[in-house]
Structure 1
Amino acid sequence: MKIVIIYFLLAYVKVTICLRVVSITVPKYKQRGEPATLTCDYDLEGGRLYSVKWYRDNEEFYRYMPRLRPPQHAHRLDGVKVDLGKSSARHAHLRELTLRSRGLYRCEVSEEAPSFHSAQAEAFMEVYHFPRDSPSVTGHERRYEIDEPLDVNCSSARSFPAPDLHWHINGQKITERSWLVAYGAKPVPQGLLVSTLGLKAPAKPRMKLRCVATIGTHKRERTVLIDTNSASCNSRVGASLLILTCVNMIVRDKIS
């Protein structure tokens, strides 16, 4: 009985030694039309490689099996174009990414007999489309009265995913929620989205508005100026000066 237990313990230790950690390197963000190289790192610890398989959202698209000739094989999958010439046992190179290329990528490594042990790791890749066009701003063309709520909207260019929008007034980012109107993302052709954010801040003299659209570390922005109606302000100042003049005249009359 002791011999049997020792045998199983030794077998378990042998299998444990062959265990390896699989790490995966997948770009977090890639622009539509760009290539991407996916990397799967593994250590067989003396074992022999049986296969390396790649999946996107649980659908296999590439495998490497050293016992086969040729060892590489790519499956057809919408949005995934494998460049076999640049792929290997540790890399899967994808060409011309599309918006359908986004998804959860998984690498699965298996050993040869007798263990047939396998390990896997996964990571998500977002494929975005962010054109060079700046956001468009409407509602800034009209003249506003002092303290009148603005009626200004900022809309991103057609993108994917929907960009985040932020307003800045004279260099200060606006966080006052009562001033912001989120209209959400609107779908447009080709699977793209347009985000719109409104601004209702009170009008002040010399206002410079800046709308910033961001996807990941990429951003586009547009700056506009708000023209306030200074006539009302000038009239109030003129009225005040007139009152002061009249008061001065009355005081002088009384003194004289």
Structure 2
Amino acid sequence: MGKFNHILYSYLIFISCLINGIRSLKLTDFLVPDHAVIGSTVTLKCYFDVAFGTLNSVKWYKNEHEFFRYSPSISDIIAFPADGVIVDLNSSDKNKVTLKEINFNSSGLYKCEVSTDLPDFKIAFDSKNMSVVAYPEWGPVITDVAEKYSVGQTITANCSVAPSYPSPTLSWEINGRPVDSWDVSDKEVPGPGKLSSRRSTLQFIAEDQHFEGSNQALNIRCRAKLGTLTSSTLETTFTSTLAQSPDSLESALQRYRNTGAMINGTSHNITAVILLFLLFITRKVL
């Protein structure tokens, strides 16, 4: 009987420890945004379950410096000075902290720490980094592009975007296809404070293959992206079309040059000569 009581007692202790392990203090939801826009208001959230314990305090830290505390033992929530942190006490409680007037110094590691009272003193915490960004007020904008081009012409397009943070990067596409880097020159322009803008120039020779579809359209797209932010891509597109007569004759001639038809037989050579003659006569008349 004594052995049975010992086994039963050990089993009850095991079950008690198991229940306490399952039903102990834990964070159930923790939210700190990856990015906050400068000048905006953000809310940090920290939800928890104290299980069988009694809440002692909820503390928030920025870079390990405490700036907010809630405790049932005190009548008011407390905010402490911290670089880049302005707490809106009217919109904050034990589960959330609202920060207003976000500035570049607001970037940092934010941690929520929850503790329970004695004798069941436990601590649970989580942390996450938040970065402050400044989106450009305008752009990207494509300039210096004509509405019509002829095959063989040099096309120069400029793309610019307003100052932002992180520094923007610009990329180009022609008819939906990425442009080779050697066709592009790029320059960063310092702005006020941490802000900077960027200007990019794309230059290439118009070829017959660039003008697609029944309307013979050439689509040039410029994309702006802030650092590594996946949700910060902005873009703009400019459409040019193939110039018509007399350049349509020159386009036809260019197609012969591109395909090498001028060396594939006498009939093709005669066709090329006729095209050159018509092009010469047309320009004389015009």
TM-score (norm 2): 0.67
Cα distance, 1:186–1:231 mapped onto 2, change above 3 Å: same
Kindly indicate whether residue 98 of structure 2 is the aligned counterpart of residue 64 of structure 1: no
- Do 1:147 and 1:202's aligned partners in 2 also have CA atoms closer than 8 Å? yes
1:37-76 equivalences in 2 (<5 Å): 37-70=43-76, 72-76=77-81
Give the superposition deviation at 1:18: 1.6
Please name the residue that 1:252 is paired with.
none
Aligned residue in 2 for 1:35: 41
Deviation string 1:174-229 (CA, Å, 9 cap, x unpaired) is 32434553737554212112234443443245533232324553554444455888
Instruction: Give the match for residue 175 of structure 1.
Output: 178
State the SS of the aligned residue for 2:178: coil
Q: 1:1-256 to 2 correspondence within 5 Å?
A: 12-13=17-18, 16=21, 17-70=23-76, 72-140=77-145, 146-147=151-152, 150-169=155-174, 172-178=175-181, 181=184, 183=186, 185-204=188-207, 206-215=217-226, 216-224=230-238, 233=247, 236=250, 240-241=274-275
Deviates more, 1:21-30 or 1:196-205: 196-205
| 1:77-115 Cα shifts (integer Å, max 9, x gaps) | 222110111111111011121222223321111111123
* Residue of structure 2 in register with 1:247 after alignment: none
Task: Considering Cα pairs closer than 8 Å and 6+ residues apart, tell me whether 1 or 2 has the greater RCO.
Answer: 1
Pairwise CA RMSD: 3.7
Partners of 1:81 and 1:202 in 2: CA distance? 55
Shift of 1:42: 0.7
Q: Secondary structure at the match of 1:134?
A: coil
Contact 1:131-1:157 within 8 A present in 2 as well: yes
Verify the 8 A CA contact 2:25 2:53 in the aligned structure 1.
no
Tell me the SS of whatever aligns to 1:105. Answer: strand
Asked if structure 1 preserves the Cα contact closer than 8 Å seen for 2:85 and 2:99, the reply is yes
Give the corresponding residue for 1:251.
Answer: none
Measure, in 1, the Cα distance between the counterparts of 2:193 and 2:147.
34
- Distance of aligned partners of 1:86 and 1:198 in 2 relative to their CA distance in 1, 3 Å threshold: same
Q: For 2:94 and 2:79, how far apart are their aligned partners in 1?
A: 13
* Structure 1 contact 143–227 (Cα < 8 Å) conserved: yes
**78 and 181 in structure 1: CA distance in 2 versus 1, 3 angstrom threshold:** farther
In the alignment, structure 1 segments of 5+ residues that lack a partner are 245-256
TM-score by length of 1: 0.74
Structure 2, unmatched stretches of 5+, are 1-5, 212-216, 254-271, 279-286
